[in-house]
Structure formats: C-alpha cells, structure tokens
Amino acid sequence: MDLNYSEEEYAFEAKVKQFLKDKLPQRLSDKVKGNIRLTKADMEEWHSILNAEGWLATHWPVKYGGTGWTPVQMHIFEEACSAANAPRTVPFGLGMLGPVLIKYGTEEQREHYLPRILDGTDWWCQGYSEPGSGSDLASLKTRAVRDGDHYIVNGQKTWTTLGQHANWIFCLVRTDTECKPQEGISFLLIDMDTPGIEVRPIITLDGEHEVNEVFFDNVKVPVSNRVGEENKGWTYAKYLLTYERTNIAGVGASLNGLEHLKVIAREQQLDGKPLIEDPYFARRMAEVEIDLDAMKTTNLRVLAAVQGGGAPGAESSMLKIKGTVIRQEINDLTRRALGPYAMPYVHEALEEGYNEPPIGPEYANPVSSDYFNNRKLSIFGGSNEIQRNIISKMILGL
C-alpha cells in the first residue's frame, strides 16, 4: 500500500475541505471545539447536511446509498472532519446496523430500513449489554419466546447510549436455553414505541445523561423483524462488533486532541518555560504521537480489507485497544498540562449560551469531564482485556 497521497487524493482532500468550509455550520463547529453539549437537533442537522451531499454512509456500497470511496478517501474525510470540528455522526444505524443488514438482512429489510437510516427517519440504539453480564455478552438473559408470528420479549438492557432519542433498537435476545450460550441467540429489530418498553436514564459521573436502562415487559415483536436465522444471532453480533470497534479507534478525534494538547502545552508554563519544552512531558507527547501515526496505518489496512469485500477482522481489536489507550493518554496529558485548572468542573458551562467567566483558561472546563467520560473507552465495545484474548487466539494462534 502506497501511503503517499496521489494527485487525485489531494484533489479529493481539497474538495472535502471546501465542502466543510461551505456547509459545516459555524455554530456546530464552535460547539464541538468548545466541548459544548450537542443536542439531538444538532446531531440531526449535521446528519441531514451530509446526507444531502451523499457523504453520509462512507462504508456502505453505492447500491444502498453509500459513497463508494476508497479507504484513503474515507481516511481523508474523517481526518478533515475532525480538524474542522465537525460533529461525529451517530454510529448505531450508519456504522453498526447498516453493515449487518447489507450482509445478513433480507432485501425487504434493506429496502425498508436503510433509506430511513440515511434520511434520519429512524434513530437507532444498541441493545447488547445487560446487568450482570459484564464483558461476557453471550451470557445475556433477555428472552424472546416464539408465539405464532411474533416473539414475546422480556428482560433488561443497560448502558444504552442515546437511547432516550431512539425510536428503534437492535437487540440480542435469547431464543434457546438448551444449548451453548452462543448458539441460542437471535438478532431482533424492535420499535421503541411498542407497548411494554420503558427507558430509564443513567446519570454518569460527570453529570451527563448519555446512557440508559431499557426494560422489556412482554414486548410483542414480529418474526419478520428478526435479522438472519433464529439462534444464529451471535454471528451477526460479532460482525457488528468489528465495525463498532473500528469506529471506537477514533483516529481523527485523537489527531485533533493531540493538536489541541500541543496548543495548551505551548501556553502553559513550567519553571518559566513552555511546558512543551519539558523533557518528561515532551517525551510522553512524542510517544503518543508515534503510536497514533502507527495506528493510522493500521486503520487504513482495515479500511482496505472492508473495501475489498471483506469485513474488519481481528485487526479491529488492535484498533480498539490502541485507539482507546491513545485517547486516554491524550486526555491524561491534557489534564496534567492544565494542573489545578483541570479540577473545577462547572456543569452548566457546557450549555450553549453560558456566559460566566471561566475558571482559568477558557479551554479548561471540559477537560475533567472528557477525562472521566473517556475512562469508558477501554471497557465498552468489548473490554480491552477481551480484545487481547481475541488477538491471542485469532492472530497469534495461542
């Protein structure tokens, strides 16, 4: 693989930057740059702008409304969006369910659901995690019992990100208890307006409402809402998770975070000199920059495999581990660079329109929130310990 951009790729990069200059609302860019909370309307606005341009489903085939971009073009697009402080698209429909429907869904399911993901009619959330299951996803207990043309679903999901906004949820449910745990799971698409569903908020350490619990009490789901075969859902679940883990790597977000850290390190002083000149701090920044550069190459390899008709393989576990470690290291260095100014956390300061004077530098307030919130990165999507087991078995053959 030639890692140098061709003339066509430089032209594509210029086209993307011009698009972002013309179409990315300054208000949204300012909110992302200032770590101001994005509302549902904000996320839908950027989703709609990308869809109008035909640049929303970067990983989908053109046949289903995707861009047909090369891996390098996808990388260029992600990097440019992060540098311009564009909002990240919500991944559950676009980056997770979409690829599963394209590979395993029926043509009727593709024709019905994929356009609704693109035009924003449906907001999807993920029903994977359950209380007591931890990283052992196959131990899930939410039951779906066949009753004629329907399943009756009972159980509970947890850590359902942005579920308060969703009108659909894709769920793993147990449809057979008399077999190995992985062999009795099915993959259902469930309308959140179905009677018997209750969503309860979980308020996280930083005071945010990002995740939820979802309860199912005799929820009636048509059998036609099942993706693939009954009891074969584990196969589809694993396929989806490879896309989720690849997305979690967040190469563009880390590049942007590192550049922001350099700005802070040039402004903050240690013993009368810019912090960036401190040997210990400079060494840690150099280490994370080298790791990030290496991860960019791995990310391109995974994207190339997907474009060639494959799916992200065990390499997605490498991306997940390295990507989350890098982002957490950048969060930690940013917090350390600000010293005591990273400690005060004014929850209201992350609201649009807040105009009280900042405590310390203006960019200091969200630092603690980011640091604590991103502790989750090494846990969700399959903990980093689980990913190391996958690498040891599937890549190293141990």
Question: Rounded distance, CA 47 to CA 25, Å?
Answer: 12
Tokens for 306, please give them.
């997907």
Question: Rounded distance, CA 191 to CA 226, Å?
Answer: 12
Among all residues, which ones are annotated catalytic?
A: 244
Question: Rounded distance, CA 79 to CA 296, Å?
Answer: 10
Question: Rounded distance, CA 391 to CA 53, Å?
Answer: 38
Could you tell me if residue 370 is left (phi over 0), alpha (psi between -120 and 50 degrees) or otherwise beta?
Answer: alpha
pLDDT for residue 280: 95
Q: What Cα–Cα distance (Å) separates residue 199 from each residue in 66, 127, 144? A: 32, 12, 19
Question: Rounded distance, CA 43 to CA 284, Å?
Answer: 34
User: Alpha carbon 133 to chain centroid distance?
Assistant: 21
pLDDT for residue 205: 80
pLDDT for residue 1: 55
**Residues whose CB falls within 8 Å of the CB of residue 148, separated by 6 or more in sequence, listed in order:** none
Question: Rounded distance, CA 225 to CA 190, Å?
Answer: 7
Residue of 48, 105, 22 whose CA lies nearest to 56: 48
Q: What is the pLDDT along the chain (398 residues), one digit of tens a residue?
A: 556 788 999 999 999 999 999 999 999 999 998 888 899 999 999 999 999 999 999 889 999 999 988 888 888 998 899 999 999 999 999 999 999 999 999 999 999 999 999 999 999 999 999 998 877 888 999 999 999 999 999 999 999 999 999 999 999 999 999 988 889 999 999 999 999 999 999 998 878 899 999 999 999 999 999 999 999 999 999 888 877 777 777 888 898 899 999 999 999 999 999 999 999 999 999 999 999 999 988 888 877 776 666 666 777 888 889 999 999 999 999 999 998 888 777 777 788 888 887 778 888 888 888 888 888 888 887 888 988 998 898 888 88
Collapse the DSSP code of 76 into the 3-class scheme (helix H, G, I; strand E, B; otherwise coil) and give the result. Answer: helix
Question: Rounded distance, CA 34 to CA 47, Å?
Answer: 20
pLDDT for residue 181: 83
pLDDT for residue 3: 61
**Residues whose CB falls within 8 Å of the CB of residue 272, separated by 6 or more in sequence, listed in order:** none
pLDDT for residue 343: 75
pLDDT for residue 313: 73
pLDDT for residue 307: 64
The angle that helices 251-267 and 71-83 make with each other, rounded to 10 degrees, is 40
Tokens for 9, please give them.
């790729």
Neighbours of 4 (CB within 10 A): 7
Residue the block writes with tokens 């790791």? 291
Q: What Cα–Cα distance (Å) separates residue 41 from each residue in 152, 329, 350? A: 33, 31, 16
C-beta separation of 69 from 59 below 8 A: no
Tokens for 184, please give them.
């009795």
pTM over 0.75: yes
